Amino acid sequence: MNPNERPEPGLDGSLDPFGSGAGRRGEFSVDGSSVEAGGLETAAGSDGAVEYSTGTTTVGLVAADGVVLATDRRASLGGRFVSNKDVVKVEQVHPTAAITIAGSVGAAQAYAKQLRVEADLYENRRDRRMSMEALSSLASGLLRGLPVSPLLGGVDPAADGAGEPHLYQLDGAGGRIEESAFAATGSGMTVATGALEREYDTDTDIETAVPTAVDAVLAASERDTASGNGVVVARVTGDGVETERRDGTGALMNGANGGAR
């Protein structure tokens, strides 16, 4: 694939250019190898460079009082060499919203930064926070052509402090789908989705949803070589975004609670 060409739609007819395995090279390079947030080697490009599809495991769950986002903590080279065991793949982009990262590390970090800046600029100019509908529209537009497959979870704050939770699945063709229950992305998504189908309860609250999300990521880590080394969990509510790190058994790590931001 020519790296300057825009990715084509997936073979299954979807607008996700990465679902078919038509990956693009990552942004970080060590000795000519691309660093992915859980990348899987697919093929050699026309210039002889190895190309990668998106990897990792990220999940999102809608609860009555917020959204739970969870990801593994592994970064790999081609899904074969673990380059980092403590990568935070959840980025806050709004006072009450965050995204998960699956795909190219460099592209994902730049994307999250741009989305955060745009949301801050909107609030400064209009003296009000961007709604989740507007934020998701902006997020899907900025994503076009990028080798990143994120989930966006956020809450529109209400006067009583509870707010309305929203979860969106975004793709590199600019697509946006709001999920009413849960979603998963990355190379471990098949196993994670099965775990979520089994354990998710439509009447769940955010504290009950956390272990469900953690179990889904850990289940995927058992079978997917690009996922592992524990879990990062984010609770997204009308009060903000709170993150924590858990080890490979799902236990909370000492001093790992990031607190509300």
Q: Is 56 a catalytic residue?
A: yes
SS3 labels along 219-239:
HHHHHCCCCCCCEEEEEEECC
Q: In the chain, where are the structural domains located?
A: 58-245
CB burial string 196-226: b at 16+ within 10 A, e below: beebbeeebebeebbebbbbbbbbbbeebbb
Task: Identify the active-site residue in 54, 56, 71, 193.
Answer: 56
CB of 67 closer than 8 Å to CB of 236? yes
Domain 58-245: give its CATH code. Answer: 3.60.20.10
* Ranges of the chain whose pLDDT falls below 70: 1-55, 159-162, 254-261
- Over residues 61-74, the pLDDT tens digits come to 999 999 999 999 99
Place of tokens 């000492």: 254
User: What was the pLDDT predicted at 22?
Assistant: 35
